[in-house]
Structure 1
């Protein structure tokens, strides 16, 4: 199966009242489905981090300060590193308000504007089937509007994200060892360590390479999301007829093994705003023998421009925080980085 080396191509607030409290009414295709409702998985996750502690560690804002905002000409209010934290007083801060037209069109995966009569989201709680709790713990709610726990972004509103507050995702990291024509594992000439490969897709919205993840549907187990997103984005399962969908069964053994939870928490994502942000569970499924994945026909799905196996290395340029997830996987498997 074809592989690719690690040199990848790049790629005004209005206060209104509702439910007896002050709300903020905000003014591309949405980057997510209906955001997630997490339940306890049937499978137990193994935890891993390079420090040996919890895999959740809030990312510093870098990509969340990207300007202009993705899919628009909206320029973020410039936020210097020392002013990102909400603990730093900054009375001059005047972020731009932006919510994408696709979100304001009221698709089923998006919340209503906070000014909508009768719309009273319960933040920091399970709100019906919408999980508004954060992996990072309790976040602040000011004037009935959630505040990004990682700090300022230079934009308010929801941007491209559907939910006020956390928008949860799941990222399946599918890996195997790189092998030569004779089936022998390939080692990096400098480190002497074996080279790991992972399945990457090229996003259509920005052209960057990424892990083939997505949003968890309401009531869906996170393990089901991981498998579904891989099949849809890397195997193009939605476009296959019933006979071709047998390909999905070939990944059953892979997704039946014990998964490794690499990261669970806030994501430094270019779509983040002061009021809406991405969180994820990045989970590794590794095919140590190569027998489970070698015969799978990778085919880009609707959201992906391309899909291929990519060599894991420190020069990988990936979407959002995906490179940091891949690094953790390489460390876990003692692979070259």
Structure 2
């Protein structure tokens, strides 16, 4: 009976979501709207946690926010076994002798959220966006925010004669971006990565792009100048499939644009160890990417006055 009840609870929010979407416009996942009390999880809700047999507790749209009562909410706790003992990961659980400094820089570990102070309940930080159906850290290394950096590297699409290609319908020039295919979920994504303790985010941006999309470090000097100035696009929460109630992804995204295609636009792309593939991808409204990367890329197109 208990198992049947759980299955019913798991299916109800999915059916509810389908019912709502058939009568109302889809929720707009604009990067500027990813904030507590407004944005509802999509990727990290009502699913099996990746690379595990752990099923998230069902959470319907109206049950995401912590301010909404949900008496039956009882998420399973899961932290991936391979996290234990890693130098880049926190201790299993805070204790009397291990008390992270929440909402501030904890030594070289940044535990601040772009969305302001998050609540700490029973000694653990609580996801500022809301319920995910899973407690623990999942496969993330840090309790609370796990900071990443995402470089959106773009150029204009050009024809065989080197002329910029415009979209026939909108008349706007078409942007291309460097996208990698993630090895974990096979989705295309921005070639970003985690910010190391004490590391400046600009260093992370250059390092991750070089490792993920070029896969050789001897070209680092060639891209040094290119990565000196980027256009800030977004800093905040990422609807990542690894997020839990106590650990979540946040990113800083900058756009680095090769206007005439003579810099990074001329380099050969080679997939790094964490990527299955890499390519220049046309940017438009049909682009499907990992997490809410599509929303971040859309903001790039808007800022550049490009087709979307």
TM-score when normalising by structure 2 = 0.87
1:222 aligns with one of 178, 191, 201:
201
Instruction: Tell me, in whole angstroms, the C-alpha distance in 1 between the residues paired with 2:127 and 2:277.
Output: 32
Could you say if the C-alpha distance between residues 310 and 66 of structure 1 is closer, same or farther in structure 2, counting changes exceeding 3 Å?
farther
Residue 253 in structure 1 maps to residue 217 in structure 2: no
Instruction: Tell me, in whole angstroms, the C-alpha distance in 1 between the residues paired with 2:49 and 2:97.
Output: 30
Could you say if the C-alpha distance between residues 56 and 119 of structure 1 is closer, same or farther in structure 2, counting changes exceeding 3 Å?
farther
Cα shift at 1:106:
1.6
Cα shift at 1:117:
6.0
Structure 2 gaps of 5+ residues are 1-29
Cα shift at 1:332:
0.5
The match for 2:23 is none
Runs of 4+ in 1 over 3 A off after TM superposition: 54-57
Q: How many residue pairs were aligned?
A: 276
Instruction: Tell me, in whole angstroms, the C-alpha distance in 2 between the residues paired with 1:69 and 1:152.
Output: 14
CA contact (8 A) 2:46 2:58 kept: no
Residue 208 in structure 1 maps to residue 179 in structure 2: no
Structure 1 gaps of 5+ residues are 1-50, 239-244
Greater RCO structure (CA 8 Å; 6+ sep):
1
> Which deviations, in whole Å up to 9, do the C-alpha atoms of 1:201-231 show, x marking residues without a partner?
0000111100000001111110010000000
The match for 2:41 is 61
CA contact (8 A) 1:253 1:292 kept: no
CA contact (8 A) 1:124 1:132 kept: yes
Residue 316 in structure 1 maps to residue 287 in structure 2: yes
Instruction: Tell me, in whole angstroms, the C-alpha distance in 1 between the residues paired with 2:236 and 2:110.
Output: 14
2:64 aligns with one of 52, 59, 84:
84
Q: Secondary structure at the match of 1:255?
A: coil
Instruction: Tell me, in whole angstroms, the C-alpha distance in 2 between the residues paired with 1:233 and 1:118.
Output: 38
CA contact (8 A) 1:56 1:265 kept: no
1:111 aligns with one of 90, 115, 122:
90
Instruction: Tell me, in whole angstroms, the C-alpha distance in 2 between the residues paired with 1:80 and 1:306.
Output: 35
